[in-house]
Structures are given as C-alpha cells and as structure tokens.
Chains A and B, each alone.
Chain A
Amino acid sequence: QVELQQSGPGLVKPSQTLSLTCAISGDSVSSNSAGWNWIRQSPSRGLEWLGRTYYRSKWYNDYAVSVKSRITINADTSKNQFSVQLNSVTPEDTAVYYCARGRVGLVGDYLDVWGKGTTVTVSS
C-alpha cells in the first residue's frame, strides 16, 4: 500500500521560500511507471497542479507556466522522497499543498495516491 507523508512549515513570510517534502512508502521515487506531483488548493484557484518529477532512465521535470519561474521539484533517492521549493512567495501562494503519485492512463496521467495536505499560510 502506497502512502505519502508530507512535512514542512505551515507559515512562510512574504518573499521567502516555501519548502515541503513528501516521503514515499510502498513505492520508489525512481519508479519507471510513476510521476511525483505537487498540487495546491485554495478557494480562489481551486485545485491547481504545480509540477512533477519523474524518472524514465533519467530525471525529468514539468512545471505549470504560472509558477515556472519560481518552482523547483527535486527527488531524493537516498531518502525515497521528493520536495518542492517555491521562491518569492506572496499571500496569493497561501493554500493547502498536496503531493500525489501520478500514473499513466490511456491519455495522460491521473493521480491515484495523495498526501494528507499541508496548509501553508504566507504572512508576516
């Protein structure tokens, strides 16, 4: 049974960096059949996909255009986890952040396992 355990601070000051980690149990971050995603949810934006990392003989990353200049998603194979860093945060980045495993469907990916979510507030 795959589980994702999220960790990271719930409060970040404006202009600083949001950092969250998602530890994987029951699967490998280096799996050739999964992708490792970050999604956030806020009342104003709904569910918003931020990006993913995945391994297919080498590492790849995809990012949403809306955050592409500020986001980095990395995998740590030694700890079997992946992380997100979002730079230069503003109050608009206040949201519940989720990590999720992506699986390849008939046309593109779906997200079959989710972390419990981390509420991140951007405030001084």
Chain B
Amino acid sequence: SYVLTQPPSVSVAPGQTARTTCGGDNIGSKSVHWYQQKPGQAPVLVVYDDSDRPSGIPERFSGSKSGNTATLTISRVEAGDEADYYCQVWDTTSDHPVVFGGGAKLTVL
C-alpha cells in the first residue's frame, strides 16, 4: 500500500513562513493535494494538483514539489492558520486509491 509521510508537527511565530512536507515513492508522478483541518471541523482543500489554489483560499498558501517530496508553504502565518494539514494523492496500486498522509500539526507560537 502506498504511504505518504508527514512530519507530525511544525511550529512558527506569527508573521513567519511555515513549511510542511509530504514524502512518498515516486510522488513526482502524482498530483498532491493539501487539506487544512481545524479542531471539530471537516477538512478544507487548500491546494490541489501540487500548486493550484481553490477560490477563496488566500495566496499565502502555496504548494510545490521536488523529487520525492511535496511542500505546503504558508506565508505570513496568522493565529487562525493553526490546524492539522494533510496531504493526499491518488494511487491505483493501493488498497484504496485515495491516500492521505498522517497529518502535520501547525502550532502558531
């Protein structure tokens, strides 16, 4: 089964830049999508197809990919960005084609 690996946590001060990564075999051949989930709420799509933003998502959220790692970058971090962030890919070789990473908790100091 395909595995996406995320570091469990990232901390950053307000106004700084937060980066969290997502690693997986041959991830360069897949599209990576990112979700934000605040406590008690459903996930919200913040980046799709590696680097596109849905309408309504601030430009402060951006995605990139290099080699076997995808990165979600949040610029000018605000207190309201504190949340869990999950990456997701589609992998038809897995037991289930929609594969999520384990999530990374962003703490705003």
Contact = CB atoms under 8 A, between A and B. Distances in A.
Q: Do A and B share a complex? A: yes
Contacts of B44: 114
B14 interface: no
B29 interface: yes
Interface in A101-117: 102-103, 105-112, 114-117
Given A47-B43, A114-B42, A106 B49 contact: yes
A47 B86 contact: yes
Given A110-B45, A110-B48, A105 B96 contact: no
Given A98-B42, A107-B31, A47 B49 contact: no
B105 to A, nearest CB: 13
Interface of A: 37, 39, 46-50, 62, 64-66, 98, 102-103, 105-112, 114-117
Given A39-B98, A108-B92, A115-B42, 12 more contacts: A37-B98, A47-B86, A47-B103, A103-B48, A105-B48, A108-B98, A109-B90, A109-B97, A110-B88, A110-B90, A116-B41, A117-B41
